[in-house]
Amino acid sequence: MVAVNSPRSVLQINREAIVHNVKEISKFSGKRIIAVVKSDAYGMGVRFVVPILNELPEVEAFAVACPEEGVVLREMGVRKEVLVLGGVLPEDMGAVKEYDLTPVVSDIEHMRAIGNDPVRFHIKYDTGMGRLGFVEETVEDPRITGVMSHLSTPGDREFSLVQIKRFSSIVGRYPKGIKVHMESSAGVIYRIPFTTHVRVGLALYGEKPLKDYPLDLRPAITLKARIISVKDLPPGFPISYGRTYVTKRRTRIGVVAFGYADGLMKVLSNRGTLLYRGREVPIVGNITMDMTVVEFGDLRPRVGEWVTVVGEGRTFGDLARVAGTIPYELMCNVSARVHREVI
């Protein structure tokens, strides 16, 4: 077989930017970092992101959603603590012990799954997230090495302070010296005085979790795809499935090798734009599985050139706003077909 070394789409991860963002989060919070790399590092690729983070002393631990994700980190050679945020079921205990994972216990059934096994674990409290965590009861056990909670609405100062106060009184029941963590990327703005670690994901990539975010982050991700066809069309010519766009004049359209199967959500059809040499070009017609049509108008792009989906000053957050979603969802949608590289 002949090797294909000209990918149609590339996601570039900028090592320097991630290192800068880690140092900035560490400096701003004054705390060590639990790097949240669930869901394949938010779709960016643990194989590429984790080796960068693993070398940094500011990153003391990793957090993933489920044991399978923890096993992937261990098989990559990660020796730092690996928290499993999504609880622990009886079937998970083999992997927890064999791979030295740290479950987060948030339900009495998780305690039952652990039983008398000699494993360390963290306890999660629900102070107003309304998802995982103990509400009324306190769990005490000598194997507990950390307590955590999670902010539901970090943009709402009043409610966040209620959650922080509740968590403060819970933390008071535990011995000093254990890990205490509550702040996510957005949550770091509260500089909670009694937590020992911050638990951040999104900010690692330079994506701002809040509109007015006081940290100086650098965008770490560029996502681009190649133009595979360019042609001129007369006025009144329909574009793509369903003919949801019709050319208004004689115009140049291009087909970009990037569709909803690559992560460009169909809802961006006739709404979003891509960037060609720094200029915004509108997405016209329906985004299809593997291809998206853009209108170049009078620009003169050539087949084989690149257009930018994210990068050149545009973030996942910017695109998410147009799509009516959050950057997390767009990032997780970037599929395995997109070639990854660290630069």
Ligand X SMILES: *Cc1c(COP(=O)(O)O)cnc(C)c1O
Binding flags for ligand X, 12-41, as an x/- string (CB under 6 A): ------------------------x-x---
Q: Would you count residue 199 as binding ligand X (CB under 6 A)? A: yes
Going by DSSP bridges, is the β-strand pair 102-105/245-246 parallel, antiparallel, or unpaired?
unpaired
Distance from C-alpha of 44 to C-alpha of 149, rounded to nearest angstrom: 26
* Pick 188 or 281: Cβ nearer ligand X: 188
Q: Using CB under 6 A, which residues numbered 56 to 115 contact ligand X?
A: 85
Which of the residues 27, 97, 231, 241 is marked catalytic? 241
23 is catalytic: no
Binding flags for ligand X, 119-158, as an x/- string (CB under 6 A): -------------------------------x--------
Tell which one of 43, 87, 103, 201 touches ligand X (CB under 6 A). 201
* Sign, CA torsion 126/132/134/135: positive
Q: Would you count residue 225 as binding ligand X (CB under 6 A)? A: no
* Pick 151 or 291: Cβ nearer ligand X: 151
What is the nearest approach in angstroms of ligand X to the Cβ of residue 297?
38
* Pick 211 or 249: Cβ nearer ligand X: 211
Tell which one of 192, 202, 287, 307 touches ligand X (CB under 6 A). 202
Residue range at the interface with ligand X (CB under 6 A); choices 51-59, 178-186, 259-267, 307-315 = 178-186
Q: Which residues contact 5 (CB under 8 A, 6 or more apart)?
A: none
Q: Would you count residue 185 as binding ligand X (CB under 6 A)? A: yes
* Pick 202 or 294: Cβ nearer ligand X: 202
Using alpha carbons only, give the angle 47, 50, 54 rounded to the nearest 5 degrees.
Answer: 140
Site size toward ligand X (CB under 6 A) is 13
Q: Would you count residue 200 as binding ligand X (CB under 6 A)? A: yes
Phi, psi of 198 (to 5 degrees): -110, 150
Kindly state the tokens that stand for 29.
């919070």
42 is catalytic: no
Which of the residues 38, 124, 179, 208 is marked catalytic? 38
Residues known to be catalytic: 38, 241
| Residues found near ligand X in the complex (CB under 6 A) | 36, 38, 85, 150, 184-186, 199-203, 209
